[in-house]
Amino acid sequence: MTTEELTTNVLLALDEIRPFLNSDGGDITLISIDDDKHVKVRLEGACISCSVNQMTLKAGVETTIKKYAPQIETVVNIM
């Protein structure tokens, strides 16, 4: 998968999870993809102060991204 295809797939994954975040007053933005395997995102809105945002990041965001781009190893939130 090229870097462009990888970026497209990660953005598609974020588009899939975004409605769930939006329904709780949050959002997510892709910051970068490093070495084609480490994704940095920024949780926004209500997601910033949510007590379960790390669970959302791992169980929701990371799982969805890996469905679209299996070579991704980590997903981290950058404040």
Give the model's pLDDT for residue 59. 84
Q: What is 1-75's CATH superfamily? A: Fe-S cluster assembly (FSCA) (3.30.300.130)
Dump pLDDT digits (tens) for 34-62: 999 999 999 999 888 888 878 888 888 99
Dump pLDDT digits (tens) for 66-76: 999 999 999 99
pTM of the predicted model as reported, rounded to 2 decimal places: 0.91
- Per-domain boundaries in the chain: 1-75
Sign of dihedral through CA atoms 46, 48, 53, 59?
Answer: positive
Cβ(38)–Cβ(62) below 8 Å: no
Cβ(72)–Cβ(37) below 8 Å: yes
